[in-house]
A and B are shown apart, each in its own frame.
Chain A
């Protein structure tokens, strides 16, 4: 006696099939909006039919055929069989569901490319990617981004309109054209990940489900463009960072610095998978990109069984390359910290002070926190106190502020006590 076909089981089939179904339908009707409507109708039909018949042997083909038939029916009803519906009719003869031939893999990549198309704003790309490729509902996306469902729904509607108006081509580009589209996709996936990993201000809440979604989307992407080193690098970066999630805070939610974390609490399955992805990125022998470099730095930490075993000189070398690629003062600051670990606090401080002299990042709290750390190591406690106090006034994150204030207080110059009256 097999278990009954439940709504949850049908929705699980849907989650598995939706990206391919949407990608395939988009290929036929060349309209994301219409493709999504047809796919939804197929889901409704499955929810009606499958509890009685059971899940068909090839549910993907069933959904595809059903969606295509719905498309033809609707077009006939409306007596507006235009070119794209005619094409659809040719492609879907009225036969029983059969296995769908063709390159389903391409269809998922097509969907990713469309969702992350550069004509769309960053936030539209994020919403559309989570909806179409990640299979999240608009409500789930809204909750993840702490906004309302109508806001996200509106954003998705606008995005689809923009795609239609811009007449975005639905072909998967090849060669250099495909490579040129990658940064826009990487950016969206890493944005989703960071949205889950850390919030920018206030009493932040981690939203780990978003990290899971981003990592999964990254793995899907890497599997579809296996020759793109940065795709593997991005997967590695996300997985290696996520591997530290449960060690990042203590029981009360206070942050624990990387070097103070209990490494037994790191997620070693994710570390293994992340290091394997990093290995694939490196093995392609392409010039190291920003994601692969960051992943390699994270990999240095992941490989060190104890903080003291960290290969700081290698981290510095990786930061050198990253500074060259990004020209970012934030990366230079991170490099200064690594230099301090590798070659001593005086060397690190000299680099931080060079940033200060260049008037870069003066209102960036991390600069002053790093400065305070290095000054404290050098025994220049009064200056360290001032640096931590300044860092505390600059951060908008309340918990971080508390930690910095506490560090400043510990270094406070002794105030001479007034004699008791």
Chain B
């Protein structure tokens, strides 16, 4: 399964304060550990909402709103996309994350990604697709 790990914004992240060298180093080590465990699919930090923009849909109208946005605790400062086997595994990795916002109340939120049918029930009928003819299988060699 995939889990999106959302790093919630804080006053400092919204003010555009960059992380300390110490935190960057700790995060670097943590990310390396995640990569070495084969967990990471994506991960980015976001600029403060002052550089963000919104489009609001209402009654068929589209209204553009420029940042910054007020509700700091509901904003996000970064995210990861992880491939894990369970929410418990994701929680265990998240528990190991360095405090992302030292000196402030920080929060990570973990949300399973909705995957409608791709990796769904373990026994989805499937067969060797004919796209194989376009895949270079190395059958002659692979069994050598």
Contact = CB atoms under 8 A, between A and B. Distances in A.
Contacts of A55: 95
Contacts of A400: 127-128, 130
Given A204-B127, A253-B127, A198 B132 contact: yes
B18 interface: no
Interface in A188-242: 190-191, 198-200, 203-209, 211-212, 215-220, 223-224, 241
Interface residues of A, number: 77
Contact of A216 (B83, B92, B127): B83
Nearest to B140: A328
B122 A245 contact: no
Interface of B: 2, 32, 35-42, 81, 83, 85-86, 88-89, 91-93, 95, 116-120, 122-142
A216 B2 CA distance: 12
Interface of A is mostly: helix
Given A15-B89, A267-B118, A337-B133, A200 B128 contact: yes
Contact of A269 (B42, B89, B140): B42
A214 B93 CA distance: 20
Interface in A243-257: 244-246, 248-249, 253, 255-257
B131 A15 contact: no
A8 B125 CA distance: 30
Contacts of B81: 269
Contacts, number: 168
Contacts of B86: 8, 12
A331 B138 contact: yes
Contact of B127 (A199, A269, A330): A199
Contacts of B120: 208
A216 B38 CA distance: 5
A400 B125 CA distance: 13
Contacts of A403: 130
Nearest to B139: A330
A246 B127 contact: no
A204 to B, nearest CB: 4
